[in-house]
Amino acid sequence: MTNRQATTQRLPHGGLRHTLSLLVLLTLLGFAQTARAQTSTATFTVTASVLASCTVAGGVPLAFGVVTPGVLKDGNVLVSAVCTVGTPYTLALDAGIGSGGTVATRRMTSGADTLEYTLFQDAARTTLWGDGTVGTSTRSSTGTGLLQSFTVYGRVPSSASASVGTYSDIITLTATY
């Protein structure tokens, strides 16, 4: 047998070894792929606390416009509250900063002069809106998590008299929850 014939005869046997080695390698890779597909799990707890809260906002100014002596003058403005869901709350209006004002009869001022007015919860202007004292009531509601708006109805009575001037007052809206 020549060298060339011996080489030719060994190639199929060497090729068989190569093929077997390749099959073993592919089998091992298959096992490795299976090992990577296994899983392990764990859990963790997620927590949060929601506290009762309310945020209130006043509206644009309650502007009565030009007041004429002997003529009743009405106006209104929206106030709002955003309170957490299910939170009961009350809205109170203070007496303002006008000299001599009370929650029942408030006073706008212009220098040393005053002009009386009242604030109500209803359009008929029968329920005084104040802090719950001096014959006034507060406004109650329960939070929805969304903006809730309330109308404050104001009135300058026809009996109000005042000197010429521009009058103003500042009312504080308070939510108690």
pLDDT in tens, the chain (177 residues): 555 554 444 545 566 666 666 666 666 666 555 557 899 999 999 999 999 999 999 978 999 999 998 999 999 999 999 999 999 999 999 999 999 999 999 999 999 999 999 999 999 999 999 999 999 999 999 999 999 999 999 999 999 888 999 999 999 999 999
DSSP state of 137: B
Q: Quote the pTM value.
A: 0.75
Dihedral sign of CA atoms 66, 69, 71, 75 in order: positive
* Confidence at residue 29, expressed as pLDDT on a 0 to 100 scale: 60
* Confidence at residue 4, expressed as pLDDT on a 0 to 100 scale: 52
* Confidence at residue 25, expressed as pLDDT on a 0 to 100 scale: 64
* Confidence at residue 119, expressed as pLDDT on a 0 to 100 scale: 98
* Confidence at residue 135, expressed as pLDDT on a 0 to 100 scale: 96
Task: Write out 109-135 in H/E/C secondary structure.
Answer: EECCEEEEEEEECCCCCCCEECCCCCC
* Confidence at residue 23, expressed as pLDDT on a 0 to 100 scale: 65
What is the C-alpha separation between 174 and 135, in angstroms, rounded?
Answer: 18
What is the C-alpha separation between 77 and 70, in angstroms, rounded?
Answer: 23
Helix (H, G, I), strand (E, B) or coil at 150: strand
HSE-CB of 39 using CA atoms within 13 angstroms: 2
63: CB partners within 8 A, 6+ apart: 75
What fold is seen in the domain 54-176?
Answer: Immunoglobulin-like (2.60.40)
